[in-house]
Chains A and B, each alone.
Chain A
């Protein structure tokens, strides 16, 4: 079974630009979560999508948004990039069956975003 895939793997942008990252979950997984990893703040939860709806959101500004498509693929968008947005962005998928709180999340390789 193929794992979680993320594209692109590396991205360089300048301040003020916007960026879109893509995530394809494991086949059969309906939930996609996004995390930001930085040396200073560590791993932080951004948001979760399930059935094309944002179910949960972490403590990030509105510049961070996402969506999920009917095939469970997800995209994450960051607008008006700031230097502090440089990070590894990790996507994770889980089955999220009914009442599936606590399902194991399987992570992709991440997208390393550098903002200059």
Chain B
């Protein structure tokens, strides 16, 4: 069975602080894909990043960076110099390539609040 755990239900920081959102996943498959999505109050899930299980390179995109570590089954997301516009619910998700359900398995999400 696949599982994604986002242990932080809510995080509140002051603008300009750095913040890391944790994501731990479980899967028996050797080929799988990890994603991060952002859900602002409007409700639409906005795609942020996709990683496959064979690519452990960390990624940086502007103020966003992702740290993928297969050894600890983690795919953490860091926002540097946070801004109020970063306030949203962030979801980590897993998709595996085995037979059966091919949908995304989501974590429960982390509600990030950036205070001015």
Contacts and interface: CB of A to CB of B under 8 A. Distances in A.
B102 A55 contact: yes
A29 to B, nearest CB: 13
Nearest to A112: B43
Contacts of B43: 88, 90, 109-110, 112
Given A45-B105, A48-B103, A56-B102, A104 B44 contact: no
B72 interface: no
Interface stretch (B15-23, B79-87, B93-101): B93-101
A90 to B, nearest CB: 6
Nearest to B50: A104
A106 interface: yes
A72 B45 CA distance: 20
B47 A102 contact: no
B103 A35 contact: yes
A99 B102 CA distance: 12
B64 interface: no
Which of B35, B44, B95 lies at the interface centre, i.e. has the most chain A CB atoms within 10 A of its CB? B44
Tier of interface size on chain A: 20 to 34
A105 B108 CA distance: 18
A107 B97 contact: no
A107 B104 CA distance: 12
Contacts of A104: 35, 47, 50
A28 to B, nearest CB: 16
Sort A-B residue pairs by CB-CB distance and give the 7 closest, nearest first: A45-B103, A102-B33, A107-B45, A43-B106, A56-B102, A101-B97, A109-B44
12 contacts: A33-B104, A35-B103, A35-B104, A43-B93, A56-B101, A101-B97, A102-B52, A102-B97, A109-B42, A109-B44, A110-B44, A112-B43
Interface of A: 33, 35, 42-48, 55-58, 88, 90, 92, 101-102, 104-110, 112
Interface of B: 31-33, 35, 37, 42-47, 50, 52, 91, 93, 95, 97, 100-109
Given A58-B103, A102-B32, 9 more contacts: A33-B104, A42-B107, A42-B109, A43-B91, A43-B109, A105-B35, A107-B37, A107-B44, A109-B43
